[in-house]
Amino acid sequence: MNSSKHQRSLYKIVIAHYSIGAVFFLILSIMFFFSIEVMSGHYFQPMLLALTHTAALGWGTMVIFGALNQLLPVILEKELFSIRMGWWSLLFLVPGIILLVYSFWVFEPGLYMQIGSVLILIGVFLFVLNVLFTITKGKQASSVFAEFILTSCLWLFLTISLGVLMVFNFQYPFLPKEHLQFLRLHAQMGISGWFLLLIIGVSAKLIPMFLLSSYQKTNLLTVSYYLINGALIAFLIDGYLHGLNFNTYFILGLGTSGIGFYFAFLYQCIISRIRKGIDKPMVQSLSSFILLGIGILVLPVILYYHIQNDAYAVQLSVLYGTFIFMGWVSTLILGQTFKTLPYIIWVKHYEQLTGKFKIPLPADLINNRLLSVQLIAFFIFLVSFLVGFLLRISALKYLGAVSLIMCSTSYCLHVFLLLIHKTRTEKYDRI
């Protein structure tokens, strides 16, 4: 495939992922509204399972897959191995997610749930193969960024594999431990193994580029990589054998130290940046790590109440999940969408016109009014819902849910407007 045809094909699959992810985000916000009351109960119930998997797979993972298809060639400086494999991955993923989420929502742990889980596993397997073949294709010196990305994809495959086993275990009980114990392992593999490692690997490459940072050292990232993976492996082994216990405090400290080294890397990038001003999408992206930090601070308290078998641990676990998926991951995606997607659109419409006409910059394609609505609505959602959840004030929780719908609506509209963008140019004035 020649280069221009490859780029056109790559553009189509990338915007397909962004578009589908945006629709799932809108659906997620509506589901969130109808799940408000059940959030005060146990996290292992149909609506919350449907909500969590919509957030993790339909929203978070879908947009990340699309972004990776575009960014992996940039990070590795080589073409994506197979666009066709990317399309097959998407064709398995979408119906799989729909079937799984529907089955959780109505809680019918039978054939539809099993088919959905297997379709997701196949889609993820194809995506992971595509990443693996892209990274290993040709001669390329290994980098810590590639290690983070590839390792996160392997953790994703393991997470989905365990999920499939748990789905079949509903109807044909065969797992040697209780379901909730595997659920904790499944969740932590997804959060720390997939989302955390992937976000560190990609953001550690992109944030210095966006900030025009002169900081190039990666030793902090290498330490972070080994600490986080070591902590996750230790948690899975100890958690499987003994459940949550006092050893988990040490494991948590190990993983938190790994995140601390990553934060130290981000700090060095920020203080060494050449570009002193930071735009709205970048502010939102960086603020997501504050939410990650808050979520980490909640973990020792959750662990304490779990060890004490206190019912309060359940509510705190729901709060932690909200911070992770609706706080950290969503905030980062909302910010990075409008750092990456405008550039992707700009390349399609204007890269070939550079030097021939007066053309807009990628930032000029952004609708600042919609971006402001998105930022404000999401901030209101976070504050009102979390305060309402902690103080058990239903009105505040519903205000947060409505604000999230406003945020997702403005996000979808913004993405749609970018995708239908028409090329606009001006001729240079003659001297």
* Cα 249 → chain centroid: 26
* Cα 138 → chain centroid: 29
Reading the chain (431 residues) residue by residue, the pLDDT tens digits are: 556 677 888 899 999 999 999 999 999 999 999 998 888 766 678 898 999 999 999 999 999 999 999 888 888 878 889 999 999 999 999 999 999 999 999 998 989 999 999 999 999 999 999 999 998 886 665 689 989 999 999 999 999 999 999 999 999 999 988 888 899 899 999 999 999 999 999 888 888 887 888 788 889 999 999 999 999 999 999 999 988 899 999 999 999 999 999 999 988 988 888 767 777 777 878 788 888 888 888 889 888 888 887 777 777 888 888 888 888 899 889 988 988 899 889 888 887 777 666 788 888 899 999 999 999 999 999 999 989 988 889 999 999 999 999 999 999 999 999 999 888 766 544 43
Q: What is the rounded CA–CA span in Å between residue 26 and residue 308? A: 38
Q: What is the rounded CA–CA span in Å between residue 276 and residue 362? A: 19
**20-66: per-residue pLDDT in tens?**
999 999 999 999 999 988 887 666 788 989 999 999 999 999 999 99
**301-313: per-residue pLDDT in tens?**
888 888 887 777 7
Could you give the C-alpha distances from 138 to 76, 78, 141, 295, in angstroms and in order? 11, 9, 10, 40
What pLDDT score was predicted for residue 295? 83
Radius of gyration of the chain (CA): 22
* Secondary element (H or E) of residue 198: helix 197-211
Q: What is the rounded CA–CA span in Å between residue 342 and residue 210? A: 13
Q: What is the rounded CA–CA span in Å between residue 283 and residue 401? A: 23
Give domain limits for the chain.
1-140
Q: Phi and psi of 358, rounded to 5°?
A: -80, 120
| CB 303 within 8 Å of CB 244 | yes
* Cα 121 → chain centroid: 18
What pLDDT score was predicted for residue 428? 47
- The shares of helix, strand and coil residues in the chain, as percent rounded to the nearest 5, are 80, 0, 15
3-state secondary structure of 248: helix
| CB 31 within 8 Å of CB 325 | no
DSSP states along 284-304: HHHHHHHHHHHHHHHHHHHHH
What pLDDT score was predicted for residue 430? 45
What pLDDT score was predicted for residue 121? 98
| CB 95 within 8 Å of CB 55 | no
Amino acid occupying residue 213: S
| DSSP state letter for 213 | B
Please, what sign has the CA dihedral across residues 166, 168, 172, 174? negative
Helix axes 330-350, 3-34, angle to 10 degrees: 150
Q: Give the torsion through C-alpha atoms of 367, 373, 378, 384, to 10 deg.
A: 170
Q: What is the rounded CA–CA span in Å between residue 399 and residue 62? A: 27
Q: What is the rounded CA–CA span in Å between residue 284 and residue 182? A: 34
**217-234: per-residue pLDDT in tens?**
889 999 999 999 999 999
Q: What is the rounded CA–CA span in Å between residue 86 and residue 88? A: 5
